[in-house]
Amino acid sequence: MITVIGAGKVGSAAAFDILRYKISDVILIDTNENAAKGEALDMMQAAPAIEFDGQIKGTSDFSEMQDSELVIVTAGLGRRADMTRFDLMNTNAQIVRGIVKEVAKYAPKCKLMMVTNPVDIMTYIAFKETGFPRCCLFGMGNILDTMRFRSYIANEIGVSREDTRALVIGEHGDSMVPLVEYASVSGIPISNLLTNEQLERIVHRTVTSGADVIQLKGSTIYAPGSVIAIMADAILTGRNRVMSVSTSLDGEYGASGLSIGVPVVLGKEGVEKIIELDLSEKTKEKFAKSVATVKEAIAALKN
């Protein structure tokens, strides 16, 4: 069983993708009970078309998440075009603190995935509030950035997105670090296929892509929804996917006392392993700046 907390646009899109890919039954929880029930009813009516025979239930009762293997938190204030992710921080921190206490109460053995922005800060808060093992608590973050990075690489070269592989590490925000040195197309380094000018343009578009969508339509929906489903599949099926997620570091990459995006093996136990990459000196400097950005935000949190 998967519980999605937050029946807004992203939470509902994620819940539907989880059903569509037949990953699990879903409990959709929202303080607006009618919204949760309405979304669940809408999805149930689509179930014959997507050939899903399981259960989708909407509720405002947090106790319904009992026995969930995975709990996904999407609830919180959405980001406006004139806001940075950190502008959301203190408002969403209050919301998240209340929610994760309910998770710890009713689903203490679950894997907890944070999606609420700024996701690195919310992941850190959840880790501190719940006392969950760090393997069991992680944020979506850079997997979404990586999908965007892959899309822009493929578009620039004119090849299939499926054949394009890449990673993004660091903050899920303006200081993210797209790893050009680890990006490839069917094993061919993209530095062999693109000019420095093209690479710089792709990196810039990756960093601004979320804000670009928000500027045009108000919110990102389909991309984060699909990424949440990919992560859910990796956990429930134990596929051990290599993904960059926001996780609490304890000396890895020379950092500790924060949650930030790094590549991990994501499987049945959550973060099965943190993968430490050999980074260039330039990339190390960029990642250090990203760490400093997140730590500065954590220091500014209101208790």
Return the active site residues: 172
Backbone dihedral angles phi then psi of residue 188, each to the nearest 5 degrees: -90, 120
The sign of the torsion formed by the CA atoms of 191, 194, 200, 201 equals negative
Question: Hey, what are 254's tokens?
Answer: 């020379």
Alpha-carbon distance of 190 to 182, in angstroms, equals 9
d(CA 253, CA 204): 24
Give the pair of three-digit tokens for residue 32. Answer: 């607006």
Cα–Cα dist 11/212, whole Å: 21
Burial pattern 14-46, b for ≥16 Cβ within 10 A else e, equals bbbbbbbeebbbbbbbbeeeebbbbbbeebbee
Cβ-count burial of 294 within 10 angstroms (0-12 exposed, 13-18 middle, 19+ buried)?
A: buried
- The residues facing 270 across adjacent strands are 267
